[in-house]
Amino acid sequence: MLSEIVDVVLKSLYARSASLYNHSMVTGRLAQQLVVAGDLWRDYDPQQAHIAGLLHDAGKLFLPDAILLKSGPLDDTERGVMELHPIWGGQFCQGTVLETFKQVVLQHHEKPDGTGYPLGTREVCFEARIIQVADTLAALMDDRPYRREILHPHFLLRQVRETVEGLFAGEKERKVLHAVRVVLGLAEGKHARPPLSLVTT
Ligand SMILES: [Fe+2]
Ligand SMILES: [Fe+2]
């Protein structure tokens, strides 16, 4: 039942925007890889992380084409509407088999320092923090019309490090940063592995 509903969401994302579908697929894959590579599976089931990544932007299904498909940067008004998508996504999950994912979908743009959106709450669940790291990486890998694709692993690591440091502290921060290095193929020594595939087929 759950996999069928997730499949319907993915098909709907694809129908609205192929790039939104690809972004969701890459975020799901990355979230799962981060949990495994960071040895975080006691905190977050990798399969749950995968599904949460697939669903995290489901609220964007409710955006008008003029905003969702806009090829350039959003203006302030459009950004205000865009920033409602976590609320719509949370409502989408509520009261369905997706209820377990409501909180992570709602909080995936919130920051522990209160500078996130849509609520600006400082309470951000661990799951939403992991999805945020995967989302940031996936967004940097996106080939957007107004920005060249950024795929150099060292550049990606530098960009994502700030996100990780803003979301985690201590042992968790160390584990997530290690996971990012592994996923980007930058880990050394006994943890070194080739970059994990991001093929979404
Ligand atoms: Fe989002
Ligand atoms: Fe996203």
Question: 195 pLDDT band (50/70/90 cuts)?
Answer: low
Q: Distance, CA 139 to ligand 2 centroid (Å)?
A: 7
The 10s digit of each residue's pLDDT in 34-88 is: 999 999 999 999 999 999 999 999 999 999 999 999 999 999 999 999 999 999 9
Task: Report the topology of domain 2-191.
Answer: Hypothetical protein af1432 (1.10.3210)
Helix axes 126-141, 18-37, angle to 10 degrees: 130
The 10s digit of each residue's pLDDT in 11-25 is: 999 999 999 999 999
Kindly identify the ligand whose nearest atom is closest to the C-alpha of 20: 2
Local structure of residue 185 (DSSP, 8 states) = T
Residues 6+ apart with CB under 8 A from 1: 97
User: Which residues have CB less than 5 Å away from ligand 2 (the ion)?
Assistant: 57, 135
Q: Distance, CA 155 to ligand 1 centroid (Å)?
A: 22
> Cβ(25)–Cβ(132) under 8 Å?
no
Q: Distance, CA 8 to ligand 2 centroid (Å)?
A: 18
Helix axes 18-37, 2-16, angle to 10 degrees: 130
Q: Distance, CA 42 to ligand 2 centroid (Å)?
A: 24
